[in-house]
Chain A
Amino acid sequence: DAGVIQSPRHEVTEMGQEVTLRCKPISGHDYLFWYRQTMMRGLELLIYFNNNVPIDDSGMPEDRFSAKMPNASFSTLKIQPSEPRDSAVYFCASTSPPRPQHFGDGTRLSIL
């Protein structure tokens, strides 16, 4: 079975630009999570969905961040406008409880 697929793997862009990260969860999983990993703060949950509906977005740092899940096989995390402090690795994970969460390889984002 294919795992969680994220794109792009790397993104370098200038401050102020819009950034869109994409995720395809494992087929059949009904929960999808977006995380951010930095050296300073470790792994943080940003938002998660159940059956395409956002359940908890309390980890989204600012209104510049938004996430959508238009269908069961696709989700996006958007940052507009981007800032240098948004530089991090962004992970998507999916699960169908009580099974384990499975993570994608992440998107390494650098904002110049």
Chain B
Amino acid sequence: KQEVTQIPAALSVPEGENLVLNCSFTDSAIYNLQWFRQDPGKGLTSLLLIQSSQREQTSGRLNASLDKSSGRSTLYIAASQPGDSATYLCAPRMDDYKLSFGAGTTVTVRA
């Protein structure tokens, strides 16, 4: 069973600082990995999908790296803004199409 750990559980930073969110998973035989954000009372918004053959994926201020062999992914958010405040979830996918979720990192960006 895939186990996903996200560190830290919570993070509070002043506006403008760069964010580094870590995700580790126990089974490295993943097909891809998705990063999501979840706002309070809302569903999950897909941020980035990184295939197992890729080392990183970028979208605007977001960059996700993947080290499949060591079971790690990192989400970088550059120049954070108050609107980045949310919970960020990492979800590796196995060949059976199932996503396994970590507990998330709750980010607060202070204005």
Contacts and interface: CB of A to CB of B under 8 A. Distances in A.
Interface of A: 4, 31, 33, 42-43, 45, 48, 50, 55-56, 91, 93, 95, 97-106, 108
* Size range of the chain B interface in the assembly: 20 to 34
Contacts of B31: 98
B49 A100 contact: yes
Interface string B93-111: 0001111011110000000
Given A43-B89, A91-B44, A98 B96 contact: no
A107 to B, nearest CB: 10
A4 B45 CA distance: 11
B53 to A, nearest CB: 11
Given A42-B103, A43-B89, A102 B98 contact: no
